[in-house]
Amino acid sequence: MSTQDFVLFALRHPVLFVYQVIQWILSKVLSPTPPPRKAHLRRPKIAVIGAGLTGVPAASHCVGHGFDCVILEAGSRKNLGGIWSRVNNTSGLQIHSLMYRFHPSVTWKSGYPNRHQIVSQVEQLWRKYGLEEKTKFNTRVTKVYKDLHGRWILNDPSNGRFDGVIAAIGTCGDPKMPHIPGMEEFKGEICHSSDLDGRQAKGKKVIVIGGGASAVEALEFVASEDAEITNVLARSEKWIIPRNPFIDMLLAMNVFGSETNLSWLPEWMLRRFFYRDLADIAPPPNSKKGIFTETPMVNDEVLDLVRSGKAKWLRGDILGFEPDGVRFNRRAQGVPKGGPGREELIEGDMCIMATGFKRPSLAFLPDEVFQPPYEPPNWYLQVFPPEHMDICADNCTYVNAIGSVGNYHIGIYTRFLLMFLVDPLARPKEKWMKRWIDMTRWIKARSPTGAFDFFTYSELIYWFLFVIAIQPFRWKWAPFVLFGIGGALPLAVVEREDKLRKGNGVVH
């Protein structure tokens, strides 16, 4: 970009310009330096399972701090970027990209990037940190176990032996296509919401089954295609919140990570100022579906489309397909699934199944990590099973949250793992990991959800700060774990401690 173009851009788009400057500074200050090609990286060596936007940044943090790693990815090279490599070209971020900076060197050119921009950022990161040579594609991990020396083996020893494992397999696997009675008789086409590229919706009556974020995206797609009418059939109620980064961040600031005595306030404000005449679509007041119980959908367009008459958002149960549409039991607000309602035929000549994705299985991990009451997501910091602090299941034990999957915590979790591996004194013991889980459950005992089934981003930050502050041997690591800076100093201390331990005959 020439100086003239640069100045013109700053004048025409001042907000975007400031955003770019901030990102540039963050990248310069917080991105670890990529290792030189053929550099000898030290142990601990980490195995990263999955090459999505969790796995690639996690691996880049490992090598950026001088530790060796290998990425094992079930898909092929074209699946680099995980779920984003498999969805529609029209898919994009609903939350603001400010909350989707999955690595400090990510640079967004817009507030709401599309899937191509997201995949290309993952790809750039992958190349920048020399991860091409460290990634094994077409390698599905089916078994993770330890050798006699306590090193992890993934599938078989030919993949190497590792000191730590990062499982980054995500929550969106293959598309979920439930069979609904009568599907075969339906005259129109039926497709999954992740398979919309090239579909024609112009002038059609479209039915969308499901009421989650994919349904919202499908609705936006068919509206842009100028469909005649779209009926979204949702069997349960979910909150929709505005596509405004300040409102979204404000909601994420509830540090308790659950419903509180004040939750009525944001709910009332959303009904009054956002849903307005369409408050009937929102979960009912005084129900168990408070705003801090489930991941909300972030969107502005849905309500506008309903107001314009181009779409209807209907609550009820699918009874079955008929040649001309879907038989539906329409329920009033607050009537539970399967409850009484009014039966009607929703006409359609195209049906989009926005019924979600199958959750990839963590069954390859050792059996002991699934023992109740410490089964996922009830793990230390939600990601470390108490039996094995050297396993970090990042972003894949996630159930519901107000926050983001693709943000700074990916680096923080990776550095927690590195700290645990290199510093025996900072390492958590199984007993204390379990006590922390118990304590969090106790703090959230009044929450309508399980303690780890819902959290907010500020609660996550509180967890991080708490587990560092509670253990004095972790204090020296705080700048490294939280910001990725100053790792050399605590490492030198640990090396001296190691020498002392060896001198005293203490072996870890």
Ligand X SMILES: NC(=O)c1ccc[n+]([C@@H]2O[C@H](COP(=O)([O-])OP(=O)(O)OC[C@H]3O[C@@H](n4cnc5c(N)ncnc54)[C@H](OP(=O)(O)O)[C@@H]3O)[C@@H](O)[C@H]2O)c1
Nearest alpha-carbon partner for 173 in 127, 135, 140, 220: 140
Closer residue to ligand X in complex, CB, 5/184: 184
DSSP state of 346: E
Q: Is 97 within 8 Å of 112 (Cβ atoms)?
A: yes
Query: Interface with ligand FAD includes 220 (CB under 6 A)?
Result: no
DSSP state of 408: T
- In angstroms, what is the C-alpha Rg of the chain? 24
Query: Interface with ligand X includes 236 (CB under 6 A)?
Result: yes
From ligand FAD, ligand X, none, interface partner of 234 (C-beta below 5 to 8 A by class): ligand X
Question: What's the token pair of residue 207?
Answer: 């039915």
Query: Interface with ligand X includes 211 (CB under 6 A)?
Result: yes
Angle at 247 between CA 289 and CA 114, to 5 degrees: 95
95 to 154, contacts with ligand X by CB under 6 A? none
What are the residues whose beta carbons fall under 8 Å from the beta carbon of 89, sequence distance 6 or more?
114, 115, 116, 197
From ligand X, ligand FAD, none, interface partner of 55 (C-beta below 5 to 8 A by class): ligand FAD
Q: In Å, how far are 212, 232, 484 from 126, measured between CA atoms?
A: 31, 38, 18
Query: Interface with ligand X includes 354 (CB under 6 A)?
Result: yes
From ligand FAD, ligand X, none, interface partner of 348 (C-beta below 5 to 8 A by class): none
Query: Interface with ligand X includes 217 (CB under 6 A)?
Result: yes
- From 211-219, 249-257, 325-333, 413-421, give the range in contact with ligand X by CB under 6 A: 211-219
To the nearest whole angstrom, how small is the minimum distance from the Cβ of residue 338 to ligand X? 11
From ligand FAD, ligand X, none, interface partner of 178 (C-beta below 5 to 8 A by class): ligand X
User: Residue 341 burial (CB < 10 Å; 0-12/13-18/19+)?
Assistant: middle
The DSSP string of 2-61 is -HHHHHHHHHH-HHHHHHHHHHHHHHHHHSPPPPPTT---EEEEEEEE--STTHHHHHHH
Please give the residue whose beta carbon sits closest to ligand X in the complex: 212
Distance between CA atoms of residues 405 and 397, nearest Å:
11
To the nearest whole angstrom, how small is the minimum distance from the Cβ of residue 308 to ligand X? 21
Query: Interface with ligand FAD includes 169 (CB under 6 A)?
Result: yes
Q: Is 46 within 8 Å of 162 (Cβ atoms)?
A: yes
Interacting residue with ligand FAD among 172, 223, 227, 354 (CB under 6 A): 172
The DSSP string of 363-382 is TTS-GGGG-TTS-TTSSBTT
Distance between CA atoms of residues 378 and 387, nearest Å:
12
| 369: region left, alpha or beta (phi > 0 left; psi from -120 to 50 alpha) | alpha
To the nearest whole angstrom, how small is the minimum distance from the Cβ of residue 91 to ligand X? 6
- From 120-128, 205-213, 254-262, 278-286, give the range in contact with ligand X by CB under 6 A: 205-213
- From 60-68, 207-215, 413-421, 461-469, give the range in contact with ligand X by CB under 6 A: 207-215
What are the residues whose beta carbons fall under 8 Å from the beta carbon of 57, sequence distance 6 or more?
102, 103, 125, 410, 411, 414
Nearest alpha-carbon partner for 33 in 478, 491, 484: 484
Closer residue to ligand X in complex, CB, 270/318: 318
Closer residue to ligand FAD in complex, CB, 217/349: 217
Q: Is 178 within 8 Å of 320 (Cβ atoms)?
A: no
Query: Interface with ligand X includes 94 (CB under 6 A)?
Result: yes
Closer residue to ligand FAD in complex, CB, 98/425: 98
To the nearest whole angstrom, how small is the minimum distance from the Cβ of residue 348 to ligand X? 15
Peptide bond into 323 cis (omega under 30): no
From ligand X, ligand FAD, none, interface partner of 64 (C-beta below 5 to 8 A by class): none
| 327: region left, alpha or beta (phi > 0 left; psi from -120 to 50 alpha) | beta
From ligand X, ligand FAD, none, interface partner of 254 (C-beta below 5 to 8 A by class): none
Interacting residue with ligand X among 207, 209, 227, 412 (CB under 6 A): 209
Query: Interface with ligand X includes 355 (CB under 6 A)?
Result: yes
Query: Interface with ligand X includes 348 (CB under 6 A)?
Result: no
Count of residues in contact with ligand FAD, rule CB under 6 A = 33
From ligand FAD, ligand X, none, interface partner of 140 (C-beta below 5 to 8 A by class): ligand FAD
39 to 98, contacts with ligand FAD by CB under 6 A? 49-55, 72-75, 79, 82-84, 87, 91, 93-95
To the nearest whole angstrom, how small is the minimum distance from the Cβ of residue 39 to ligand FAD? 25
Closer residue to ligand X in complex, CB, 248/387: 248
To the nearest whole angstrom, how small is the minimum distance from the Cβ of residue 234 to ligand X? 5
Q: Is 418 within 8 Å of 69 (Cβ atoms)?
A: no
402 to 441, contacts with ligand FAD by CB under 6 A? 404-406
177 to 196, contacts with ligand X by CB under 6 A? 178
Nearest alpha-carbon partner for 231 in 348, 61, 366, 115: 348
Question: What's the token pair of residue 297?
Answer: 């959908």
Closer residue to ligand X in complex, CB, 210/403: 210
Tell me if residue 212 falls in helix, strand or coil: coil
Site residues (CB under 6 A) for ligand FAD?
A: 49-55, 72-75, 79, 82-84, 87, 91, 93-95, 140-141, 168-172, 360, 364, 395, 404-406
Site residues (CB under 6 A) for ligand X?
A: 93-94, 172, 178, 209-215, 217, 234-236, 295, 318, 354-357
